[in-house]
Amino acid sequence: MKSKSSSMNTTRLNLGRYDNYSLLSDDELSKFKQVCHLKSNTIYCDKLQILLIKSGSAKLSFFENGKEFILNFLSQGNIALLDKNISMEFLENSEVLEISLYKVQKLLKNEKFSMSLFNSLIRQIVLQRNIIKDIVFKNIDRRLYSFLISLANEQNEFIRDKQVITLPFSIKTLSELLGFERQSVSTAFNKLLKTGFLSKCGKNRYMINLI
């Protein structure tokens, strides 16, 4: 099934908006556990669970020794695979459909839903491989540069033929997306401003100057 915003690129910040649950019959939907979560609720699963965001938004993260690494953000219709190593924090009041991995087998006879589930998991695998590649091969400066360019391409905003990005989150969240300490990311970001790669052009808005 195509995204309502099919022209958007699939990124860690935006997997696209889908109505995967609309592909299921009432009988198939009854196999899911329907749960409402309040903003800031965080959930974990001891066993593999498939979660489908019916409404609202959330983020998937690794937590280790008090540190957080954000994998990606989720919105309506996005599907996530949750286990004991991954947490899901809700960014607004949300409604979620949950099903265990062994029960999902009963839904695979639904060809459209099966293909949608398969495509969703493939998109996330590709994104996570790109994350691993960045972690293995790029230092903090290159990883920050790559992330900002990706964000600029997604937002697709220009001023005088130059790309403009709006940071939709704090330096703390940016550091959790990149996998570095907050101070290190702040230092790298300020370096981009000092070297002229970025020019501030409003609150949380920056123009990219190719250098």
Distance CA 139, CA 141 (A): 6
Q: Which fold has domain 140-208?
A: Arc Repressor Mutant, subunit A (1.10.10)
C-alpha Rg value of the chain to the nearest Å: 19
Q: Do the domains 140-208 and 26-137 match in fold? A: no
Give me the mean pLDDT over the 105-127 stretch.
Answer: 88
Mean pLDDT across the stretch 2-23? 62
Which CATH number applies to 26-137? 2.60.120.10
> What is the structure's pLDDT at 9?
52
* Mean pLDDT taken over the chain: 88
Give residue 23's pLDDT.
86
Token reading at 127: 């994104």
Give the whole-number percent of the chain exceeding pLDDT 90. Answer: 52
Q: What pLDDT was estimated at residue 3?
A: 35
d(CA 9, CA 5) in angstroms, rounded, equals: 9
pLDDT digits (tens, 9 = 90+) for 163-209: 999 999 999 999 999 999 999 999 999 999 999 999 999 999 999 98
Write down the pLDDT at residue 6. Answer: 37
pLDDT, average across residues 112-134: 89
Give 137-140's long-range contacts (Cβ < 8 A, gap of 24+).
140/178, 140/180, 140/184, 140/185, 140/188
Q: 70-105, pLDDT tens digit by residue? A: 999 999 989 998 988 899 999 999 999 999 988 888
User: Hey, is 181 helix, strand or coil?
Assistant: coil
For the chain, the structural domain boundaries read 26-137, 140-208
